[in-house]
Amino acid sequence: MDGERDQPGIMRQAFADIFAGIDRIHESGAQSTFLVRVNFVQIYKEEVFDLFVNHDGLMGQALELREDPKQGFFIQGVTAKVITHCSRMLA
């Protein structure tokens, strides 16, 4: 899913498209502000794991999928990182 720089996978392509869209909006003169927040999770045997949490190469504790009437579905306790440039997405 990640791929390499010369053959980017779906994740690299998606990240590049997100920031290319933001750049196009800024170049058009719009005074918009964007906040890009990223979570990386793995669903394995019907359990959700946070891939930003490293426990000596092992998966941490499974996280719970919750539903809130206002927020909708969310993963309780998942790590969220703010990303300001495409090159930081996979760093």
pLDDT digits (tens, 9 = 90+) for 27-54: 999 989 999 998 989 999 999 999 888 7
Q: Are 9 and 3 in contact (CB under 8 A)?
A: yes
Residue 20: what pLDDT?
93
Residue 68: what pLDDT?
95
Average pLDDT, the chain: 85
Q: Are 67 and 73 in contact (CB under 8 A)?
A: yes
Q: Which residue ranges make up each domain of the chain?
A: 10-88
Asked whether the whole model's pTM tops 0.85, one would answer: no
